[in-house]
Amino acid sequence: MSSASLDNVRPAPPISSKLWRVPGVWVGGGLVFLFVFAAIFANAVSPYSVDARFGKNLPPSWQHWLGTDSNEKDVLTRVIHGSRLSLVASITSISCAVIIGVSLGMLAGYKGGRTDMLIMRLIDIWLSFPSLLIAFLVIAALSPGWIAVILAVALINVPVFTRQIRAEMLSLKHAGYVESSIAAGATPFYLVLFVFLPAVTGTIWVLATLGLGHAILEVAALSFLGIAGDPSHAEWGSMLVEAKEHLAITIWPAIAPGVAISLTILGFNLFGDGLRELLNRRTRSF
């Protein structure tokens, strides 16, 4: 079978030139870029060292724009450095969820029959467990720490990818270009890697981007519950734990990480919705 004959039946590539025409993409992307930039260059953009101490619960001023916390540390500096752990944990967990969920979804949709039934019943059982219970089961198997948080958030998000990709695969199996590829003699490996996977890539990106918004909140929630381990590390959930003990004295150590979490979730959600809108426009154009 010649590669040229299959090239004619592959799905068209994404229309990346229209990416920035969707408002949600550039507004959400701007917010995401802001926090990713802060996480990467935290040492350069933060006003002070993350371990520097000044005074306990100082109010906002020109020296400390968001005041200081109960540990005498600059709140703005801790929020900037806290973006590192929050984003790294969220991105890593969603990446794991994508690998596991997409693999299961493609396998179920492609094989069908008993394989599909077994995987989907497993996902149904998976979904019957509350998110917190999954997290506690992971903690019981491991121990409190960031590895446990990442694994718990990944397992919570796997069913989303599995069910959606499986549904996509079921519809793609009867698409004209897939049947043409099969008629041309394409092997199952070729179909999965070069026909099905490019066709669901847009869906994966949308789900992953929206999932990152949920993961940010889930990571902060698990950290707030003490599952992340050492609470002294600069991380948004840990900062909220410390701040809640001193709300009667100062609210800035609680407001700052809360706003950071909200804006990051908003950024990922807007970006994901923009990608979905762009994908829908592209689908309608064929």
Q: Which domains does the chain have, with CATH numbers?
A: 31-284 (1.10.3720.10)
177-207 pLDDT, tens digit each? 777 877 777 787 888 888 888 889 989 999 9
**Of 42, 213, 220, nearest in space to 146 by CA:** 220
Residue-level pLDDT at 40: 93
Confidence of residue 15 (pLDDT cuts 50, 70, 90): very low
Contact 97, 105 (CB under 8 A): no
Q: Tell me the pLDDT of the chain averaged across its residues.
A: 85
CA distances from 74 to 47, 86, 251 (A): 9, 18, 14
245-271 pLDDT, tens digit each? 888 888 989 999 999 999 999 999 999
Confidence of residue 283 (pLDDT cuts 50, 70, 90): low
Buried b (16+ CB within 10 A) or exposed e, 181-199: bbeeebeeebbbebbbeeb
